Structure 1
């Protein structure tokens, strides 16, 4: 390794009663939390909406770079299309005005089936400026996209030419949709719109909905989490308290904009603080050509941080000799179990720490982040300011019965300004037992120490997290049960060094059948590619509890045994 590839870790912060950057408080350790929270959040003069957040950023940093857009218009990554904060606000105005011209009324939802691009940012933020953005994973099956857009009541759908047929077939099933726009058509329509203002007197208020995000998206009845403007603005501000956007920080974005991490950690967070974002473009971390040059991109743009899931870290190339990545301060990781091999490999090669975080779509994005100067082994981070996290005991119906003591394991619960109002239902948000007395019951098992550090110990539910993507096993099980010879089916997550977890299926059958045939059957009928089982195991019977429920921990143990004995 050459001298150019030797990173320096940031020096510990000076001891002082309160750490700030200008008027922004910083949390470098647990002792800073009570100091920050002495000032009520209501007195922080936060913008009332994400639109006002962008307006303030453009006023303060008009000529500064907001976005380096890679992978667009056939350009080399070293010659990106670059938008300043003035450009970004202008394009947001134009996109919002184009939506109004297409028939959208203020306050209505916009469905976004888009890969990342400059105009995808403009469309999402423009939709929030006058209505509600509803970004949807375009790789989902048509039925699931239809269910999501029906639930949210989308009036306009924006997509790309490659997905136009899919989007139109979905729209044909949704009478509420007034228009399907290609992103190129939106950009052309936007070119005829004023860029210095919104052509409506409507201005979003803090309690208005800014976005609808689907969670997982693989269930038969999709769950949609509404986010208010207050939730999103708070999140952008709170992420700044970690120090991620200090000084000459540059964030690299590779996750899709239908993911809350992309919208907040490498979107509104740096935007609120006037810092540049390097967007890896339509394919993001899946762009093999860009990922082959990943470390040269870090060097060229002086990237200080990026946020990714363990699968991305596992696939990173080694840092080439002679490449200067001394700008890099840390890698952020979350959304899936982190294999120790992946952590040690990254930290050894990049010479910077990997900092874990914890969050849920139902709590906007992040609830805990690891302080760079005060990490704790095994923890996924310290709670963010104004959020409270505790472990609770629950009964058989998963209702809380009491708080756990510090360090005691229970179901994690979160309260504070990031917690959503409940899943979207036909009549609006419905807490439905998910939020009890202001506390979001996460379904995750863990403990919280006396200083507010969070430790995950498992998940209370059966959700499989593959590379940061939530997979509900039920639709896969239902597809297997649709086979005429299958009498029982259970899908569980098998540990995987690369993806964190991968789905594997266990089935019982009424007659002899090959596992390969069932595997092909399940893959053809999976709601999305990530949900397809990695393997199908045919067994004589499925383990059950005393009341007849399938006992999945036994299947997970068997999957681990098979992996150990037979290989992945």
Structure 2
């Protein structure tokens, strides 16, 4: 690895290893072939279906991984996939997910899709990418993924083939006999043919590709952004951008002797581009525990024992997962661990202290985003780690902070907050999104990605994320950073996680409120948390006007707190109270996303009350509304 302790080291790396000359390969297949030649017998990827530390696991070495990726890429080519054709997958983690991700990039353009999305959202991605082939699970007990994907494919007429992955092969003994009897029936109503991935792969060559690798840069992946509501946007990733991420991982973080525990999903760039690509460049071994990763049954309870089993040297985590881990004892030998890397969301200072105190492991916080093919910055492993910052930008990644002025966009001074903008090999010249209009709106001077994140640089060149522009709480024209509230409440010993948002107010526009997830077994009142906030929130106007304790904060599939769901809860709560105060029987049954209007409040339609009078209440909040009969309640957002 290259020395990486400060900005001087970054400048030296840029001088000694100019990009793109430093790129280890021109394509993913070239990269895979090279690493298989250098470390053929070293472990590449491991997957275990169950979280028990003694559970059966499957490991592929680099030579075997290259052979199976070659077979699957040849299958895709036989099914008509060329370099510009999309291969989508709707899968949890598995060995086949790794193979599909890599083979999809080799043969065409891979499109990973979050299996937690609804059928209409999956279909939207399939249509936007014009996917011709979809890989998903065969019917399996306790999952409706085959049914959801079938419904999505029926809404995406360009899909010609569905290739199924059967998890049955991971089972042994009595389970292997019983599971086929429990398979759910799936009514196929779509136009695509059904094939079995393993059966079709078996007849393909494993030593060379049907169509020789072109060895040139091109768009080879489309990753969607967004959480679990609305229609996700699709970002384009090139070979060079993905290989850049892997090069950074190898140069600064991993070697072939490292073992990385990665309980994050492969449809997300963190697992795919940082960890797996880092392995492809370095030869590091990546372990994927359970199909659902951190969400898998028993993963948190067995986490430290899994670390001991695989002699893990590098942990990959996110703040919400750390909060849960800190409620479990460190009940195994974790002396092999050198570093833990946290990303996806800002790390609360109190959580950082708890983790390092409990484990003795150095924790590195980093920053990246899907639109930039992931990596932007991190605290240097060998240098000063400023807790709360996301470190210094990686080599060949230029970050500037911009603010709006009467003269237009202007670069901010040291410690001045503005919008973070990124230019790097991961920001593609072809455009960020497949939608050219959306893509153009994100660019500054044709090369910088406008991230929408707010931040500042300190005098030492460390980047600090201060929030999302859209997350700021606007109280009567005064912007409040939710992190002020979150950091204050997180210092309470009973609090595991906090999310602060703005709740609607007819006078101030928004007032700060907070939702809290408690440490397991904790017993604390809302009044006690309100008092704690009043004492510890440094800005008087930021003290929350409302605090609610939830069993669990809503989260995205990668463990990021999902604030849109909390905003909908707050809207429903405030509007219900206002309607009741005005004497109306109507209540909010849901708050739905709308492409044109953003959010629309839906009131129960069986209430016979004058719309004009109700409008007088609703219009005070500047929200669109409609009568609508919907069976689900807003609280269901927390269970998605």
| TM-score bin, normalised by smaller chain | 0.7 to 0.9
Question: Is the Cα contact below 8 Å between 2:417 and 2:455 reproduced in 1?
Answer: yes
Instruction: Give the alignment partner of residue 318 of structure 2, picking from 298, 306, 309.
Output: 309
Deviation at 1:321, TM superposition (A): 6.7
Pairs within 5 Å for 1:195-274? 195-203=206-214, 205-206=216-217, 208-218=218-228, 220-242=230-252, 244-246=253-255, 248-274=257-283
Deviation at 1:453, TM superposition (A): 1.3
Instruction: Give the alignment partner of residue 404 of structure 2, picking from 383, 394, 412.
Output: 394
Deviation at 1:323, TM superposition (A): 2.2
For 1:181, the equivalent position in structure 2 comes to 163
Coordinate RMSD, CA, aligned: 3.6
- Cα distance between partner residues in 1 of 2:318 and 2:394: 20
Tell me the secondary structure at the aligned position of residue 288 of structure 1.
Answer: coil
Seen in structure 2, the aligned counterparts of structure 1 residues 378 and 78 have a Cα distance that, compared at 3 Å, is same
Give yes or no for the alignment of 1:383 onto 2:448.
no
Seen in structure 2, the aligned counterparts of structure 1 residues 314 and 320 have a Cα distance that, compared at 3 Å, is closer
CA radius of gyration, larger in = 2
- Cα distance between partner residues in 2 of 1:515 and 1:281: 49
Question: Is the Cα contact below 8 Å between 1:409 and 1:446 reproduced in 2?
Answer: yes
Question: Is the Cα contact below 8 Å between 2:230 and 2:593 reproduced in 1?
Answer: no
Instruction: Give the alignment partner of residue 506 of structure 1, picking from 566, 571, 576.
Output: 571
Question: Is the Cα contact below 8 Å between 1:129 and 1:203 reproduced in 2?
Answer: no
Deviation at 1:84, TM superposition (A): 0.2
Seen in structure 2, the aligned counterparts of structure 1 residues 333 and 76 have a Cα distance that, compared at 3 Å, is closer
Deviation at 1:429, TM superposition (A): 8.2
Pairs within 5 Å for 1:457-476? 457-462=466-471
- Cα distance between partner residues in 1 of 2:11 and 2:345: 30
Give yes or no for the alignment of 1:172 onto 2:154.
yes
- Cα distance between partner residues in 1 of 2:52 and 2:418: 51
Instruction: Give the alignment partner of residue 43 of structure 1, picking from 4, 12, 21.
Output: 21
Deviation at 1:100, TM superposition (A): 2.1
Seen in structure 2, the aligned counterparts of structure 1 residues 361 and 92 have a Cα distance that, compared at 3 Å, is same
Tell me the secondary structure at the aligned position of residue 323 of structure 1.
Answer: coil
For 2:416, the equivalent position in structure 1 comes to 408
Deviations 1:518-545 (A, max 9, x none): 67x338x789xxxx9xxx9x9967877x
Instruction: Give the alignment partner of residue 457 of structure 2, picking from 431, 448, 457.
Output: 448
Deviation at 1:290, TM superposition (A): 3.0
Seen in structure 2, the aligned counterparts of structure 1 residues 170 and 313 have a Cα distance that, compared at 3 Å, is same
For 1:190, the equivalent position in structure 2 comes to 201
Deviations 1:289-329 (A, max 9, x none): 23211101101111111222111111116665762111111
Instruction: Give the alignment partner of residue 131 of structure 2, picking from 154, 161, 165.
Output: 154
Give yes or no for the alignment of 1:335 onto 2:344.
yes
Question: Is the Cα contact below 8 Å between 2:403 and 2:409 reproduced in 1?
Answer: yes
Between Structure 1 and Structure 2, how many residues are aligned? Answer: 491
Tell me the secondary structure at the aligned position of residue 279 of structure 2.
Answer: helix
Question: Is the Cα contact below 8 Å between 1:494 and 1:501 reproduced in 2?
Answer: no
For 1:63, the equivalent position in structure 2 comes to 41
Seen in structure 2, the aligned counterparts of structure 1 residues 490 and 148 have a Cα distance that, compared at 3 Å, is farther
- Cα distance between partner residues in 1 of 2:586 and 2:303: 39
Q: Which moved more, 1:117-126 or 1:318-327?
A: 318-327
For 2:108, the equivalent position in structure 1 comes to 131
Seen in structure 2, the aligned counterparts of structure 1 residues 458 and 511 have a Cα distance that, compared at 3 Å, is closer
Tell me the secondary structure at the aligned position of residue 299 of structure 1.
Answer: helix
Deviations 1:113-165 (A, max 9, x none): 00000011001100000101100111111111111111111110111024222
Tell me the secondary structure at the aligned position of residue 7 of structure 2.
Answer: coil
Give yes or no for the alignment of 1:98 onto 2:75.
yes
* 5+ long unaligned stretches in structure 1: 1-20, 478-488, 551-568
Seen in structure 2, the aligned counterparts of structure 1 residues 177 and 312 have a Cα distance that, compared at 3 Å, is same
- Cα distance between partner residues in 1 of 2:68 and 2:350: 43
Deviations 1:440-460 (A, max 9, x none): 111111111344310111211
